[in-house]
Structure 1
Amino acid sequence: MATIESYTTAAGKRYQVRYRTPQHTQTKKRGFRTKRDAEDFAATVEVRKLAGEYVKPSLGRVTVADIAPIWLSRKESDVARSNYRMLESAWRVHVQPRWGTVRLSDIDLADVELWIADMRRKSGATTVIRAYGVLAGILDDAVKARRLRANPARGVENLPRKTSKRRVYLTADDVGRLAAESKHRALILTLAYCGLRWGEAVALRVQDVEFLRRRIMIRDNAVQLASDFSEGLTKSRKDRSVPVPQFVLDELSVQCKGRALDALVFGDGAAYLPRPKSDGGWFVAAVKRAKVQIVTPHDLRHTCASLAISAGVNVLALARMLGHADPSVTLRVYADLFDTDLDAVAEALDAKCAQSVPNRCPADVEQAPKKPLTSVNG
């Protein structure tokens, strides 16, 4: 059990609590102004020891910067290289300047919320959410390492919400004109009718195109970092088989002709095709010539979802095609597209089931005998 002792300082009488840790080592905490405060602390320590929640105070005296490298190192191996760069940048630019020298035990929820409020005045929602996620993730590691009893950053109430980006969906005619005006015709059709991400498309190799099965095997993803490329796993970290319309296969057969099996389909030899520039690049020029809505290459993935849904593809098949981990992701991302099908549901049910409902003659309804009313008393 804990013992309470008094001692004298220049500022007056103070109290200290001596107690044993769960490892049976003796320690103490000094500086309590009243005996009641010391007794409350001693009782709290005993309760936490019994509940298995005790954390040695000295373990919380390290700074956030002391344990951040461990978290960052794990993330570097767990996430895509492009994602890691954003996390490392968030740590270096937003988290480290404010929290790097702060001890874990000194972090307070109110201070975290003030930090978020200050960032919201200077940065967008995505930047704020990412920086908060880095801090919260580092402190989660501290809890797992039993340096903190609970994460003081969890439970904030002023985190901004990300606004959904406006999606553009092209029609099949739009896609045809865009492909006709582009110097990368086969790539445009593959993006728009197979739903590949840009990195998946430029990492595609001749041996991944299965002409007899009318499938494309998505195994790799090429991430562009400045002028360099890094090839790794797909976003879902799983291979997937994507169906390919015959007219797209015809274009791919021309694209693959004369290339080695391990050659890139859309690259130049062993060199990846760079992402088109947002201003003055070949894709923007093709969009202008085709006179379609202003779109990005990624909008062609959304277009694929739109065309597939309008063609009656079920959600499970579409989710597998797009590489979503769960069909609920597909429903959430493309909820606006499924809303437009509600009227079609009623029309389909009317056409299919109306003949099965028996007709009732209005005269029969009027002549039907009515049940006599009964009084309360019978």
Structure 2
Amino acid sequence: MARRAVNNPRQIRAKSCGCRPCTEKFRPGEKYTRASCTGPWQARWRDPGGNQRAANFPTKKAAEEHLTEVRSSMTRGTYLDPGRSRITLEQWHAMWWPSQRGASNTLNRDERMWRLHVQPAFGTWPLTSISWLDVDRWVQGLLGPLGASSIPAAFQILDRLMTAAVLDKRLIANPCDGIKLPRRRKKHPEDRRPPTYAQLDLIREQLPRHHHPLFIVAHETGLRWGELVGLRRCNLDLEQGRVHVREVLEDVKGNVARKEYPKSDAGLRSVPLTPLAVDALSDHLDQHPADPSRSAVTDGLRLEELVFRGQRGAVMRQANFYTTWIGAIQSAGVARKSTSPTTGRTEWWPHWHSIRHAFASRLHALGVPEVVVQEILGHERGGDITWLYTHAAADVAGQVLAALTQGRPPLALVRAESTQSPHGHRAAPGFTGSDRAGILA
């Protein structure tokens, strides 16, 4: 074992010092002007890899305290190389990002959140200078530029960066730990409830006829947008009444591409087709035939194989369809417009995705087991079905009122009848005076 140096820490000669050793080293022949040296004290040590490290301090005591801390951290296994901790968040992101894996649309979202929100705030900061309070203030400042539902996506990028820095022995602790994100603004039950199938019929009537088959298949199968517009003729079995979900189309940065499913393993599934959906698809394919060939994802879009295409034969984009959808729900008289209190953006109900909610609620109302609904919708967790995709019946208040009154007329009707003249008063059928007295009491 190597012997520990006896001159550690040691004092370093400085040009600005006027003591005898410093004067002789930097200004030979001159007369020294002070007795004690003012040069910094250097602490030296070897890291766990055996590399020589050093740091300068203004006093001997500070250097000794640093050496004691370094030796203790090596013993505990918590030693951090100061040089590795001084890099900026931008430099660390450049090292960390290439190792990230996931769906291309998810990576695109993460890259956008980094570029627009995390990098402008902390990009030039050294890792060790980002404190818990800095992160907390930044999160609170995001409310406005971002809605409460989008803030977690931006925060998770910084959190994952800091977690990776801790695991890579660049930080001792993650400054994102314990940060409370703004609570999402809860919506009124009416705004969370999906449209009824009667409302969906009204919307379909206002859509261009070319989009009717797409709309019918959507509310009869609950397929996602990417699954619908990426449906190929080879994955459609009209005789057995099945749609085999094997791949999707995704739009990333304006580029539409084929993607092998799944986002999760549950995405690969077969969905039944109702007679209404089969008829709609048969009529659509008679007018707009699709090539039944089975091509590979690497072969490109192969538009001729798609069941649903634009009126000019191009791939359908949800961003382009948005204007058509908003016009249809407005013309149908079912649209509700609101403004986000945090971002100020205009929001419309129902969304296209609300069709999927309506389908799930329909299955729930018919008593289909949750595990079956979970498989049909392509979800890994049944909880998603219960809490996100199923909704209470439309007239909850009416059901409660009927239970409370046991089928008796509402209080307003009782009061209206009680204000009639004595000669014109007539009790409601099956409704006695004692019942009326009980309600009024």
Shorter-chain TM-score bucket reads 0.7 to 0.9
Q: Which moved more, 1:251-260 or 1:320-329?
A: 251-260
**What letter corresponds to residue 302 of structure 1 in structure 2?**
H
Does 2:199 align with 1:171? Answer: no
* Cα separation, 1, equivalents of 2:309 and 2:88: 47
Q: Deviations over 1:348-377 (max 9, x none)?
A: xxxxxxxxxxxxxxxxxxxxxxxxxxxxxx
Of the three residues 316, 319, 323, the one matched with 1:273 is 316
Question: What's the CA shift for 1:98?
Answer: 2.4
**What letter corresponds to residue 9 of structure 2 in structure 1?**
E
Show the 5 A alignment for 1:249-288.
249-257=278-286, 258-262=289-293, 263-268=305-310, 271-275=314-318, 281-288=323-330
State the match for 1:296 in structure 2: 351
State the match for 1:372 in structure 2: none
3-state SS in 2 of match to 1:333: helix
State the match for 1:114 in structure 2: 137
3-state SS in 1 of match to 2:57: strand
Show the 5 A alignment for 1:1-378.
5=9, 7=11, 16-31=42-57, 35=61, 41-75=66-100, 77-81=101-105, 83-120=106-143, 122-157=145-180, 159-163=181-185, 166-182=191-207, 183=209, 184-225=211-252, 228-232=255-259, 233-236=261-264, 238-257=267-286, 258-262=289-293, 263-268=305-310, 271-275=314-318, 281-293=323-335, 294-334=349-389, 336-337=391-392
**What letter corresponds to residue 259 of structure 1 in structure 2?**
A
* Cα RMSD after superposing both structures: 3.4
Indicate conservation of the 8 Å contact 1:315/1:330, yes or no: yes
* Cα separation, 1, equivalents of 2:60 and 2:38: 11
Indicate conservation of the 8 Å contact 1:214/1:243, yes or no: yes
**What letter corresponds to residue 5 of structure 1 in structure 2?**
P
Indicate conservation of the 8 Å contact 1:175/1:189, yes or no: no
* Cα separation, 2, equivalents of 1:338 and 1:69: 51
Q: Which moved more, 1:116-125 or 1:205-214?
A: 116-125
Question: What's the CA shift for 1:135?
Answer: 1.7
Identify unmatched segments of 5+ residues in structure 2.
Answer: 18-36, 294-304, 336-348, 404-441
Q: Deviations over 1:302-357 (max 9, x none)?
A: 111111111112211112222222112222324654997xx99xx9xxxxxxxxxx
**Which protein has the larger Cα radius of gyration, Structure 1 or Structure 2?**
2
Indicate conservation of the 8 Å contact 2:193/2:391, yes or no: no
3-state SS in 1 of match to 2:9: strand
Question: What's the CA shift for 1:261?
Answer: 1.2
**What letter corresponds to residue 316 of structure 1 in structure 2?**
V
The TM-score with structure 1 as length reference comes to 0.76
Q: Which moved more, 1:194-203 or 1:134-143?
A: 134-143
Identify unmatched segments of 5+ residues in structure 1.
Answer: 348-378
Q: Sort the Cα spacing of 1:124 and 1:173 in 2 relative to 1 into closer, same or farther, 3 A.
A: closer
* Cα separation, 2, equivalents of 1:167 and 1:2: 71
* Cα separation, 2, equivalents of 1:322 and 1:15: 68
Question: What's the CA shift for 1:109?
Answer: 1.6
* Cα separation, 1, equivalents of 2:202 and 2:393: 26
Q: Deviations over 1:202-255 (max 9, x none)?
A: 111111112243221222222235754233245436422222222212211222
State the match for 1:357 in structure 2: none
Indicate conservation of the 8 Å contact 1:64/1:102, yes or no: yes
3-state SS in 1 of match to 2:199: helix
What is the aligned residue count?
Answer: 338
The TM-score with structure 2 as length reference comes to 0.66
3-state SS in 2 of match to 1:222: strand
**What letter corresponds to residue 50 of structure 2 in structure 1?**
H
3-state SS in 2 of match to 1:217: strand
Percent identical pairs in the alignment equals 26
**What letter corresponds to residue 124 of structure 1 in structure 2?**
G
Q: Which moved more, 1:39-48 or 1:257-266?
A: 39-48
